[in-house]
Structure 1
């Protein structure tokens, strides 16, 4: 299944108003992790109230100790400040990378905006080196817009 073909499934999940926001976001994570072979950990981080830190939201994949990430730390923390997508083809080449697992080779993080404010992000780890393309970025921007519509 291509990323383009996943868009209707993401939309259908988000529109399930009988489910909580967290249930829907978790289903999106599960869909992406299950259907995209090189998406090995899929999760959402959100700004933690008024603090300059991110708090882990729904995710699918190996458990992580990184429940709270200060702004500026790691790839997620950098996106919280830059408000820009961050694609890391090789995590071992990044100085400010927070290792979640020794199997992770690449990471992509795309911010979520609500009313022009960066309120969180989707974070995807891959056990494949350099798997992410512009198509992944555009697809994940779509996913973030859909997530923003229910936040």
Structure 2
């Protein structure tokens, strides 16, 4: 896997509906290090020789639990002002990149996070009309080898969420891993255990993920804006797919 190309194709292309260039940096020991960049009419951002056209440049920090772990550099034509929608897209992109870059410059961690993201993308494509948000919550000890009762948000697709850390004692996500069973809720608003990530969510499917020893180490969480979206047939299909979850 060429990780630079993978990141470019997954995250940096077809982002804005205007002429733009993006570069993704990861925090190294002493400074930001270029990880990947686009190559379009505005040029690759780390070219020593600038194009004649003047550009507006933004540097957006990427954070994880209050710590800067990278940055997204944006260049657009000087005459162009970002719309509110375009600014929101960039903000959402920086947040979705946070769990991808969490492992720092460790190439194995970065490659694994991208592999998991691609696995989630394939899962979403299996049920594209009902999966409005889909992502992974890990047990802390699996992700960072640190004892904790918290679940940590991994790669995801959909709107950003403030629930990047969830106590295993709380919510439907906590329930699925506490009891090590599938949780399929037809109407989340009628379930007092539900922790609302989005008011648009109406139903939820959570499937525990196991390592090679049969221990639950994470879960696939799928939210739908449709009520009772996850039939028994869909549940079984996604359970089978979860057997292919990539392990570290």
Report the TM-score range of the alignment, normalised by the length of the smaller protein.
Answer: 0.7 to 0.9
Structure 1 segment 35-50 matched on structure 2, within 5 A: 35=126, 36-49=128-141, 50=147
Structure 1 residue aligned with 2:43: none
| Structure number with higher relative contact order (C-alpha < 8 Å, ≥ 6 residues apart) | 1
Structure number with larger C-alpha Rg: 2
Q: Normalized against structure 1, the TM-score is what?
A: 0.81
* Count of residue pairs brought into register by the alignment: 132
Is this contact kept in 1: 2:123–2:241, CA < 8 A?
no
Structure 1: runs of 5 or more not aligned: 1-18
Q: 2: distance between equivalents of 1:48 and 1:94?
A: 26
SS at 2:177's partner residue? helix
Quote the residue 2:224 is aligned against.
126
2:110 equivalent to 1:29: no
Segments of structure 2 that go 5 or more residues without pairing to the other structure are 1-109, 142-146
RMSD of equivalent CA atoms: 1.5
Give a deviation string over 1:19-76, Cα, whole Å, max 9, x none: 8221121112223334521000010011002211110001000000011110121110
SS class of match (2:218) = strand
Cα separation, 1, equivalents of 2:198 and 2:172: 14
